[in-house]
Amino acid sequence: MTSSYRINYQLRAHKRDPLIEFIKGLLLTPFILHAKPRKPVLTSPHVGGNESIDTILATGTGTSNVNNDDRNDYQEEDKPMVDANLQRYLEIMKSVEVMIEEHRRKAVKGVPEHSRLHRIVPSVATFFTPLPLEAAFLDANAKHSIAARRFVPPSFNDIRRILNTAQVMAIAPTISLITFDGDMTLYDDGTSFTENSPLIPLLIALMRAGLRVAIVTAAGYPGDAGKYEERLMGLLRVFDQQKLSEKLLERFYVLGGECNYLFRCGWKKSDATSEPVVGLTYIHPESYQPSDMLAWKHEEIQELLDVAEENLKRSVSAMNLKAMILRKSRAVGIVPIGDVKIAREQLDECVLSTQQRLLEYQQMSGSSKTAIPFCVFNGGNDVFVDIGNKLIGVQVLQTYLGAAPEATVHVGDQFLSTGNDFATRSSCCTLWIISPEETEGVLKELTPLLTIPAEEA
């Protein structure tokens, strides 16, 4: 392997999902070999009128340069081609479905590395449920006509959506906890929940079906319910307007700072009017955090953040970024100054270099200090280092609320290795979306599959 190739591979690896790339490669074969273009109709002034290529090839008339061998370059019949190509795609998806199930059986036996899928995709994550990929592909094909396409092969986004649909189909009968990222999942980046969001009735439907619903966000405001209430004002206002019961509201949680600050929804007295309103109540860490989290020392947390801050400052200086350092009690990051847009490549450079620096720092510290978990991620136009991560956050909620990994799904938009949703793959099922509109789409697939108890209907 040449040096330049190796460098390019390392730079591109964090932008790819190996499982999706594997499936995309499999589907590319039937697309190339069988999805031929439609038969053209040729018009020539040398042929009496508009004669099709069939007439030219059959009679030899006209002055066209098309010969009989060219007949094989075109698809003769439209519908049979679509049906045949769909069948080939379905065979491939069924084969991957079988490989995933074999990987799950090996994982139960404690040897997932012995599965065929692991040998082909060594970084493949844990699968907590089967994935009905064949049925999911049929659903996606009905919406996006994948098998009928002759010039655009099945894409990354096609496969990502198929995996989402398969996961929804698989988890719907047993799901008890659903967690969401905030920005670009429930609302646009840097904005807040509005009262007219189409996601609100869907979230209420999940709660009525008995699910615990939680927002697991990087936004960290230590113990400050008011800050989170501002971001969720539209949602909480609708809860209030609909006079949802306390029992229903207690199924909604917010976990901030990745895993550090937990709040529960419910009725409480307004600070301004003393009238009952829907709001968030802070839950003290001793009530839900495991002992190893409670053992993180303040001094060691600050020392880790000092190292991260030093590297971020160096990155800002080296790349002449118009950004400032923002330090919090359990986080540090860079945010743009004004309306500046920082390039994704520069953000990724900050993430990868800071990850490397912190890992080196922890290795050099040896056993004298606790290896405190951290998360460095590209937030779209900022970079943050948080103490803890969403893997721990989801696990904390699972323990606190009694939800098993196979009954938990996390919905987020940052599932590349520089994103902070990536880690949740080790603790629960996941749905990879790219916008609040896609979140709406997956919830519209999920909610009809749920059973709403009679007392909640």
CATH code at position 405 = 3.40.50.1000
- Asked if 244 and 347 sit in the same domain, the reply is yes
pLDDT class for 6, splitting at 50, 70, 90? very low
Q: Choosing from 17, 183, 386, 421, which is the catalytic residue? A: 183
- Asked if 106 and 199 sit in the same domain, the reply is no
Residue 64 lies in a domain: no
For 135-163, write each residue's pLDDT tens digit.
Answer: 999 999 999 999 988 899 999 999 999 99
pLDDT of residue 107: 95
- Asked if 235 and 161 sit in the same domain, the reply is no
pLDDT of residue 14: 52
- Asked if 281 and 200 sit in the same domain, the reply is yes
- Asked if 198 and 298 sit in the same domain, the reply is yes
183 is catalytic: yes
Predicted confidence (pLDDT) at residue 99 exceeds the cutoff of 50: yes
- Reduced to 3 states (helix: H, G, I; strand: E, B; else coil), residue 328 is strand
For 115-135, write each residue's pLDDT tens digit.
Answer: 999 999 999 989 999 999 999
Inter-residue contact 257 to 330 (CB < 8 Å): yes
- Asked if 265 and 381 sit in the same domain, the reply is yes
Alpha helices, H only, 242-343? 246-249, 291-294, 298-318
Inter-residue contact 350 to 383 (CB < 8 Å): yes
Both tokens of 140, joined, read: 């996606």
Predicted confidence (pLDDT) at residue 76 exceeds the cutoff of 60: no
pLDDT of residue 273: 76
Predicted confidence (pLDDT) at residue 98 exceeds the cutoff of 60: yes
For 363-405, write each residue's pLDDT tens digit.
Answer: 887 766 778 999 999 888 999 999 999 999 999 999 999 999 9
- Lowest mean pLDDT: which of 27-36, 171-180, 298-307, 344-353? 27-36
- Asked if 202 and 246 sit in the same domain, the reply is yes
Parallel, antiparallel, or unpaired for β 383-387 and 261-269? unpaired
Residue 231 lies in a domain: yes
- Asked if 149 and 213 sit in the same domain, the reply is no
- Domain finish residue from 134, 152, 171: 171
Mean pLDDT of the chain: 87
Q: Choosing from 181, 348, 382, 413, which is the catalytic residue? A: 181
Predicted confidence (pLDDT) at residue 80 exceeds the cutoff of 70: no
Residue 69 lies in a domain: no
Domain count, the chain: 2
pTM for this model (two decimals): 0.85
181 is catalytic: yes
Predicted confidence (pLDDT) at residue 3 exceeds the cutoff of 50: no
pLDDT of residue 43: 53
- Domain finish residue from 116, 140, 171: 171
Residue 59 lies in a domain: no
- Reduced to 3 states (helix: H, G, I; strand: E, B; else coil), residue 181 is coil
Residue 44 lies in a domain: no
- Asked if 157 and 94 sit in the same domain, the reply is yes
pLDDT of residue 60: 53
- Asked if 204 and 147 sit in the same domain, the reply is no
- Domain finish residue from 111, 146, 171: 171
pLDDT of residue 78: 55
Query: What is the rounded distance in angstroms from the CA atom of residue 14 to the CA atom of residue 386?
Result: 19
- Asked if 149 and 225 sit in the same domain, the reply is no
- Asked if 150 and 190 sit in the same domain, the reply is no
Residue 249 lies in a domain: yes
Residue 399 lies in a domain: yes
pLDDT of residue 189: 81
Query: In which residue are the tokens 């398969």 written?
Result: 166
Domain of 151 in residue numbering reads as 14-38+75-171
> Which of 433, 429, 454, 453 is closest to 167 using CA atoms?
429
Residue 319 lies in a domain: yes
Query: What is the rounded distance in angstroms from the CA atom of residue 447 to the CA atom of residue 253?
Result: 19
Predicted confidence (pLDDT) at residue 293 exceeds the cutoff of 90: yes
